[in-house]
Amino acid sequence: MECIFEQKLEMKIKVAICEDNDALRKGLSHLIMGTDAFEFCGAYPDCNDIIQNCRTTTPDVILMDIDMPSINGIEATGMLKKEFPDIEVMMLTVFENEDLIFKALCAGATGYLLKKSSTTQIVDAIKELHHGGSPMTSEIARKTIEFFAKPPKFAKLENTYALSRREVEILECLVKGNSHKMVADACCISIGTVYTHINAIYKKLHVNSKSEAVIKAIKEGLV
């Protein structure tokens, strides 16, 4: 399993872009095509055909604007995660208000960058996201930390989701922001076993992404 994970790290990351601003979409496309670690999968001015586009191009990561015509980026993210739970979505937007941040995370986004981010920051964030991290612009990360620092609204009561002791342990690691490899190291298990436990956690919590699981765990005092 470790060999398979190493191969995954060496493979090019397939990246698609959903951005309605023509100039920015073109600039991001050149950035992806000009980065050796990436494979360009397409750039789209809207999300109307996002499901079909993903079936055809099978991206690993999608850079997603929020303010999109017809179907906004948050709605599109929710649609994508239901159909393709393994695709990682990183919001790339000008919006930094708390409401949109957490709507995006609840929809399944696992990264959130502001458009003022440098090209180096965008490239690094895509790599981090693909390797199990949750990259965020510093201002967004601070708002997220402040939210998580608030006392949970619900007391830590009985485990109503029937999570095993190991699943609770892994969920605690995810809440701390640990990558899948870090979880594997902390729990002394393989990456494959981590994925198996995480899939079980998603099913029991009725969620589709790490972000949803983390937010639910904190709000309901599960960890």
**Residue 8 pLDDT exceeds 70:** no
Q: Higher-confidence residue: 151 or 91?
A: 91
The three-state secondary structure class of 44 is strand
Distances (CA, A) of 43 to 25, 26, 66, 106: 7, 8, 15, 24
pLDDT of residue 92: 95
Beta bridge partner(s), residue 14: 39
Q: Which residues contact 127 (CB under 8 A, 6 or more apart)?
A: 13, 37
Reduce the DSSP state of residue 78 to 3 states and report it: helix
Q: Which amino acid is at 66?
A: I
Residue 158: pLDDT above 60? no
9 or 168, greater pLDDT: 168
Residue 6 has pLDDT above 70, yes or no: no
Quick check: 192 and 198 in contact, CB under 8 A?
no
Condensed to tens digits (0 to 9), the pLDDT of residues 36-71 reads 999 999 999 999 999 999 999 999 999 999 998 889
Q: pLDDT category, 151, cuts 50, 70, 90?
A: low
Predicted pLDDT at 115: 93
3-state SS assignment for residue 40: strand
- What are the tens digits of pLDDT across the range 99-147? 788 888 888 899 999 999 999 999 999 999 998 888 998 888 877 767 6
Answer positive or negative: Cα dihedral of 214, 217, 218, 223: negative
SS3 166: helix
- The yes-or-no verdict on residue 4 having pLDDT over 70 is no
Residue 29 · residue 43 · CB < 8 Å = yes
pLDDT in tens, 160-201: 788 888 898 899 888 887 888 888 888 888 888 999 999 999
Q: What is the pLDDT of residue 100?
A: 84
CA angle 109, 110, 116 (to 5 degrees): 85
pLDDT score recorded for residue 1 = 45
Provide CB contacts within 8 A for 73, sequence distance 6+.
18, 47, 64, 65, 66, 67, 91, 93, 104
What confidence tier does 22 reach under pLDDT thresholds 50, 70, 90?
very high
Domains and CATH numbers, the chain: 11-146 (3.40.50.2300), 151-219 (1.10.10.10)
Torsion sign across C-alpha atoms 105, 107, 111, 116: negative
Which 3 state secondary structure label does DSSP give 61?
Answer: strand
